[in-house]
Structure 1
Amino acid sequence: MVSYRLNGQVISLELPDATKKEMDFSRTSFFAADPGRQLPAPSEILALSSDAHQIAQPKPVIIEDLNLVVKFGPYVTAAEALNPWMIRHVFHEKVPVPEVFGWRVDGQGFGFIYMELIRGLTVSDCYSTLTDAEKQAIADQLREILDTLRQLRQDPADQFVGSITRQHLFDYVLQCQPRSGPFLSVEAFNDWFALLHQLRFEHRYEDPNRCLLPDAGDITFTHADLNRGNIILSSRSPLRITLVDFSHTKMNGALTLLIAFLTQSLMFS
């Protein structure tokens, strides 16, 4: 059981076990539509894929008649599935995310996340056709969504910077760095971040810019990889967006929040 603070109130949540290789969320719409229905096996998904063993991040497989999309690959983890699962349980319709039906991990170590198919174009695909008013509406919805996400705080007695499963940081910008985290404070995260560019050196020095990283920032829940490709325009009239790709969603300190705010302000310029 994990305790969080939301708008000053304590909420408790039992997170699914991310170490399991197979998980079905039996109360979701996928299973409710047909109680005997089963999620396609990983072997079936691989057979439907055109690039499963050609690139590290293969395209998700879409199965229209099941209203299903499956994200999979060697870097796909159960933690990524837990993020939208938790968001729906905590925020319900306030934060639009796909419904997660379950996950699998096959013998090759590939992760498979089974999710609701959100129909629509990504903002990246349709950006050139958007009016200024539509761009502003998207930015306004993003601001409201991020403000809502960041209302979720950790128990003050049990804080950390990292993924909700207390694993290392998953940010794609850190994929070529040694695995690190979770960190027990913003200060510990900043100390590590300031040393990143020196990790390859035998002799290290005190970075004169370390003092520019504030250690007093709050740790809040956020989506740290908001870009046009991760935002689906699920409806244009009325305009409505849905967030996807939660591999970089986590409890973050002030530095990454600043980056996220900058990304938000620059995205639709």
Structure 2
Amino acid sequence: MDFLDTTWFKTHGRTRHFPTPEHLRSLVKLFEPPTPVKFEDLGLIVKFGSHVSVTEAINLWAIRRVFQDMIPVPEVYGWRVLEREGKTCEVFIYMQLVEGPTLAQQWPELSATDKHTICSDLRAKVSCLRSLRDSESQHVIDNGPIVFTHGDLRPANVIVTDTSPTKIVAILDWEMAGWYPDYWEDCKARFTASLGGEWRGWIDQFLDPNTEALEAFDFYTCSLGKF
């Protein structure tokens, strides 16, 4: 799949080819899981591997199309799917390289004002996501509303400016996004936050806690030895 109306093709022309899967594989060390490969001169990053799915690319494309600058995400230029014996074995997502530090890198140096600003902005973006409505989701049996969810909101997945006032440049890694109960975003955010870290104390600033759901989630994950 190629999106011919994207910046990549407008800049490089429709005859410009993406780096091939074979070339990308050659840049990864043998027996190590592939990590995204950056081509800074092309403004391109490629996420690939057996763990990557087309769903992530579709999520990115849809969020950018529906919300535009309200929820900034990398622009998807296209993807490739390699199959073996009729089954998908690897997916390659070609997308915009968004430059800048992550919120995880900047957080320790931010002022209290900047931290509140970032959390307020995250709350606004979560509200935007939840404004999406899926006509099929009312068919899901659950005690609470089903909403569109990022599924991995943590500082490492947020690109910000390196100057004050700090602003969100892009939200990355939409591989876990989808339709989930409204408490799922909060449970996952706390699950990925360090128990003794400062970030955990700020989650309430952009997500509404559901104590009952969180207790059940904690019990389940602890029983699996996840903490």
CA distance in 1, matches of 2:185, 2:104: 22
Q: Which residue of 2 aligns with 1:4?
A: none
2:80 to 85, 95, 104: 104
Distance 1:91 1:29, change over 3 A: same
CA-to-aligned-CA distance 1:180-215 (integer Å, 9 cap, x gap):
xxxx4143xxxxxxxxxxxxxxxxxxxxxxxxxxx1
Give, in angstroms, the shift of residue 97 of structure 1. Answer: 0.5
Number of residues of Structure 1 aligned to a counterpart in Structure 2: 191
Q: Which residue of 2 aligns with 1:266?
A: 200
- 8 Å CA contact 1:119–1:234 kept in 2: the answer is no
CA-to-aligned-CA distance 1:22-63 (integer Å, 9 cap, x gap):
x111110000112121211111212233x3x4333x221000
- Amino acid of the residue matched to residue 181 of structure 2? G
Q: Which residue of 1 aligns with 2:111?
A: 131
Q: Which residue of 2 aligns with 1:198?
A: none
SS at the partner of 1:152? coil
Question: Structure 1 length normalisation: TM-score?
Answer: 0.65
The within-5 A match list for 1:1-269 is 23-35=1-13, 36-49=15-28, 51=29, 53-56=30-33, 58-107=34-83, 109-155=89-135, 158-159=136-137, 184-187=139-142, 215=143, 217-234=144-161, 236-241=163-168, 242-259=170-187, 266=200, 268=202
CA distance in 2, matches of 1:237, 1:258: 27
Q: Which residue of 2 aligns with 1:11?
A: none
Q: Which residue of 2 aligns with 1:20?
A: none
CA distance in 1, matches of 2:22, 2:45: 15
CA distance in 2, matches of 1:133, 1:59: 34
CA distance in 2, matches of 1:54, 1:261: 31
Distance 1:262 1:144, change over 3 A: farther
CA distance in 1, matches of 2:128, 2:16: 34
- Amino acid of the residue matched to residue 46 of structure 1? R
- Amino acid of the residue matched to residue 147 of structure 2? T
Question: Structure 2 length normalisation: TM-score?
Answer: 0.76
The CA RMSD measured in Å over matched residues stands at 2.3
CA distance in 2, matches of 1:48, 1:257: 34
Distance 1:91 1:26, change over 3 A: same
CA distance in 2, matches of 1:237, 1:83: 30
Give, in angstroms, the shift of residue 258 of structure 1. Answer: 4.3
Q: Which structure 2 residue ranges, 5 or more long, are not aligned?
A: 194-198, 204-227
- Amino acid of the residue matched to residue 74 of structure 2? P
Distance 1:261 1:128, change over 3 A: closer
- Structure with a larger share of its residues in helix: 2
